[in-house]
Amino acid sequence: MIQAIAFYLFAAVVILSGAMTISSRNPVHSVMWLILAFFNAAGLMVLVGAEFIAMLLVIVYVGAVAVLFLFVVMMLDIDFAELRAGVMRYAGIGLAVAVALAAEVIIAVGAWSAGTLDLTRRVAPIDPVVPNIQAIGNLLYSRYVFIFEAAGFVLLVAMIGAIVLTHRERSGVRGQNIARQVNRRPQDSTRNMQPPVGQGVSL
Amino acid sequence: MTGFFNTTVGMSYEWSWFLATIIGILVIALPLMLAVAMIIYADRKIWAAMALRRGPNVVGPFGLLQSFADGLKVFLQETIVPAAANRGLFLLAPIITFTVALIVWAVVPFQAGVVLADINVGLLYVLAASSLGVYGIILSGWASNSKYPFYSALRAAAQMVSYEVAIGFVLISVVLWAGSFNLSTIVLAQRAVWPIIPVNGFAFNPLLFPMAVVFLISALAETQRAPFDLTEAESELVAGYQTEYSSMSFALFWLGEYANVLLMCALNATLFWGGWLPPIDWAPLYVVPGIIWLFAKILFFFFVFSWIKATVPRYRYDQLMRLGWKIFLPLSLFWVFLVSGVLMFMRVGI
């Protein structure tokens, strides 16, 4: 009963916030709706027993990716009239994507309603007793270890590429020299003087 | 509690679980709010004592009721929303901060078996929930539509994201050593870490002690306490992201901030100093209920937080970033490598 209520609540909020993400005028509001959608998707994953993936979804997407989105979108100075002008130009592509997605949904529902999937015959059968994290870890670091490492390398290359592309040496910048600041002593930077009255000091 | 409603009252299992959870939430959240009120008073008293002042001493005996007087004051004030502010998000931001500060307490074990949600991804839940904390601050800065809150929001976002990385790696080395993400299991894994003097706590393990220090400092940065309180540096940014807030929305920020500080103290105690276990694994000490030990440890760490606030000057922003990215991140990353290597050597053999 409670699970059914929770499912319909999460599912309804996911769909609603997904719709609001693309329809709200203000991009910051869009990001907030997107975060709400991620969050409720995580709730749905907890309901089907994939608590590890749910937590990762929240940590990675809500905690890191969406913060970056928000960071960028927050500082945009957007001209809404200009944005709306391009709608007709991209209408064709948008329509094509929508048709493809609708077709995929129809095919998926069709395949699912054609008969139940035999879950015991999949490539890596899951022991229902073992917790999520252990099951994923056992598979990831044994059977799929090379694919996992390759994915890591791809990400590393992407990271280095992003740094190389965006990093530039700027001249004329006075950076902080931490070692010099730490090594500075009072006796090097101040002097006690007793100047005769009316003469002052020469610095 | 679920059993009580299920068998004695005769409700179905689901609804008795639901009711028991609601009661559990109230049992944690209401004393927490009271604790936050008293801890604000304690913070001001400690800070005053270190500055040779008296601190709050007028309302009630020894000024004990000062926080409640302040609470009543903000409750009676008018909520002012700036005309240029984005009204919905402006009011949502303090609610997010406050809620996020409360939800993490669901997985903190108070005693053997006394925890609201004993889930096997407890520590990931802590990470997930604490990564949400930044939204309250970013949103308040943006929605205020004002210079200083916006600067503060940018600072806060960069600061919290940077230190979360270090905290994540520190937590991974703890998880590696304990062999579980469940906080109760992590506490139990800290029993008697030395063979001769059986002290409880990962921090007594020389391999994990540096991580305890990194975690304490990162916790200061994550909760934006001094010396890392650049987001509300009054000499530069007025009151940072709180500048445009008044009355209850301001109070929610205030409560959320201190609830977060208490939470970080509790996590410090739970992850590194044995949680609800007594400091030494010696039978007579187990007579004292575990919750007392946990509270003593939380209060000790809160004292450390106040002590630091009273004595250490504020960091410069580039120093803050340098500490996070150039020192803590490589150090904690190397430590994950080191800890997993040592564990491999000890438990599996080469």
- pLDDT tens track for B120-164: 888 888 888 888 888 888 888 888 888 888 888 888 888 888 888
Average pLDDT over residues B55-65: 83
In 3D space, the residue among B132, B133, B120, B125 whose CA is nearest the CA of residue B105 turns out to be B125
Q: Which residue of A has its CA nearest to B119?
A: A51
What is the distance between the alpha carbons of residues A11 and A45, in angstroms, rounded to a whole number? Answer: 11
* Reported confidence tier of residue B7, pLDDT bands at 50, 70, 90: low
Cβ neighbours for B13, distance < 8 A, ≥ 6 positions apart: B2, B6
Mean pLDDT score across all residues of chain B: 84
Q: Which chain A residues are closer than 8 Å to B147 by Cβ?
A: none
Tokens read off for B271: 């992850």
pLDDT value for A149: 92
- Whether A51 sits inside 8 A of B119 (CB atoms) is yes
Average pLDDT over residues B304-308: 90
Does B235 score more than 80 pLDDT? no
- Whether B131 sits inside 8 A of A64 (CB atoms) is yes
* CA distance to B60, B69, B188, B269, B309, per residue, from B49 (Å): 19, 21, 37, 25, 12
Average pLDDT over residues B294-303: 90
pTM of the model: 0.82
Tokens read off for B24: 């559990």
β-bridge partners, B111 = B114
Is the minimum CB–CB distance between B124 and chain A shorter than 8 Å?
yes
Average pLDDT over residues B10-14: 74
Give the tens place of pLDDT for each residue, A81-122.
566 666 677 788 888 999 999 999 898 888 777 766 665 565
Alpha helices, H only, chain A = 2-23, 27-47, 51-56, 66-74, 80-85, 87-114, 132-140, 145-166, 178-183, 186-189
Q: In chain A, pLDDT over 70 holds for what percent of residues?
A: 87
Question: B13-50 and B247-272 are packed helices; what angle lies between their axes, rounded to 10 degrees?
Answer: 100
Does A151 score more than 80 pLDDT? yes
Q: Which residue of B has its CA nearest to A68?
A: B157
Is the minimum CB–CB distance between B291 and chain A shorter than 8 Å?
no
pLDDT value for A160: 94
Give the tens place of pLDDT for each residue, B164-185.
888 889 988 888 888 888 888 8
Average pLDDT over residues B212-219: 90
Does A155 score more than 90 pLDDT? yes
What is the distance between the alpha carbons of residues B119 and B116, in angstroms, rounded to a whole number? Answer: 9
Does A124 score more than 60 pLDDT? no
Burial call B256-294: b when 16+ CB within 10 Å, e when fewer: bbbbbbbbbbbbbbbbbbbbbbbeebeeeeeeeebeebb
- Whether A59 sits inside 8 A of B134 (CB atoms) is no
* Reported confidence tier of residue A16, pLDDT bands at 50, 70, 90: very high
